[in-house]
Amino acid sequence: MSIFTGSAVALVTPFINNQVDYKALEKLIEWHLEAKTDAIVVCGTTGESCTLSKDEKKDVIAFTIKKVSGRVPVIAGTGGNNTQEAIDMSLFSEGIGADALLLVTPYYNKTTQRGLVAHYFAIADQVNIPIILYNVPSRTGLNIQPETVKELATHKNIVAIKEASGDLSQIARIARLCPDGFDIYSGNDDQILPVLSLGGMGVISVVANILPDETHQICELYFNGMTQEATKLQLDMLDVINALFVETNPIPVKAALEIMGKINGELRLPLIPISDSNRELLIESIKNFNQSMGVSA
């Protein structure tokens, strides 16, 4: 059984005066639940997990699980390049009620493909909740090869992959090699439909932070056989999606949420606020999308 089907938001972590803004976080969670977001991923890349302390990560994960209260799955980002620390964080998240874990490949120290298997198996052996592999070589410098995914999928707790390689041929090979029941989620918002067409179950999304209902709709339309409508919505959203990556994620998406009045947009160094020119580009892309959808800006 899939952890979720549809759109999971890779949720931002709002800050105020360099502290986690839990009031804003609670409002974001409730907004996503109202807007039909199918699952919430917390403490991932978009959540600036790299600059959260271990205690902050634990607090944010626990807070999110408590506020969601079982209404949708909560997936905790507990990966990293320190295997034992990833085990500890995964055990903590399981213990407080996380529905699943998102485990990014080790970065900087990297490893071999054999090392990846050892790393993921060491974590999977210690927990009893599902694991989603997270492949994002543009961030980590390390790609999980399809044959490695096939081997990892033999572990009962490793049940899915978030594929953000951008390589549709690789994603197709993963789909071909892995057993039925091993789920693929798009890690790129501009490739939701292509991944669904290869048997994917949904997306773990950045754009869902600002367009939660529309991202959910792309998946729902596709699964209901309304392929043309899903395609149109995917393409209509493309300029907004591209604008969200005009600078390093989550710089633009936090700026967009600030423009929308959802958070104050604060980031933690080394991330800095979006440039004025890119902020204008972002505003224009959102305005144009809203007009195309018949929504007042």
By annotation, the residues acting in catalysis are 134, 162
Q: Are β-strands 74-77 and 100-104 bridged in parallel, bridged antiparallel, or unpaired?
A: parallel
Q: Read off the tokens for 196.
A: 């669904």
The position carrying tokens 């807070």 is: 63
Q: Is 162 helix (H, G, I), strand (E, B) or coil?
A: strand
Write down how long the chain is: 297
The position carrying tokens 């976080």 is: 25
Helix and strand element counts for the chain (H, E): 13, 10
CA distances to 20, 84, 109, 289 from 75, rounded to whole Å, are 19, 19, 25, 29
- What is the rounded distance in angstroms from the CA atom of residue 148 to the CA atom of residue 67? 36
Q: What sign for the dihedral angle of Cα 120, 110, 182, 178?
A: negative
- What is the rounded distance in angstroms from the CA atom of residue 25 to the CA atom of residue 92? 21
